[in-house]
Amino acid sequence: MFNLTENELAVVKALAFNNYSIGYCDDLEGATWSECINDSAAPSGIEGRSLSGVVSSLCQKGLVASSEYDRNEWTISWTEAGRAFVRQNIPNV
């Protein structure tokens, strides 16, 4: 089981309910542009470098993966462990 901070859990929820993810909530297969994380039905309220740090922490914990699409443009996607965590711990996903 993952021990998430309050900020990490807020970002997980923002990603799970993101408005722009392909597959929006139903299969958790889509990637989210890093600048769109808080365009969500459950925005995290975390921005800037703090948000970047939380995403980095979620990557280190193995819940999400980050990929550079173009210079300074990143996408965030769920890992298998991240999808399982969301399905087990985030209601209404």
Average pLDDT over residues 44-70: 91
Sorted by where each starts, the structural domains of the chain and their CATH numbers stand as 6-89 (1.10.10.10)
Amino acid found at 82? G
Provide the pLDDT for residue 20: 72
Provide the pLDDT for residue 85: 94
Measured between alpha carbons, how far is residue 27 from residues 22, 31, 52, 83, 84 in Å? Answer: 9, 11, 24, 8, 11
Provide the pLDDT for residue 22: 52
Q: Could you report the per-residue pLDDT of 22-54, keeping only the tens digit for each?
A: 544 556 877 888 888 898 888 999 998 899 899
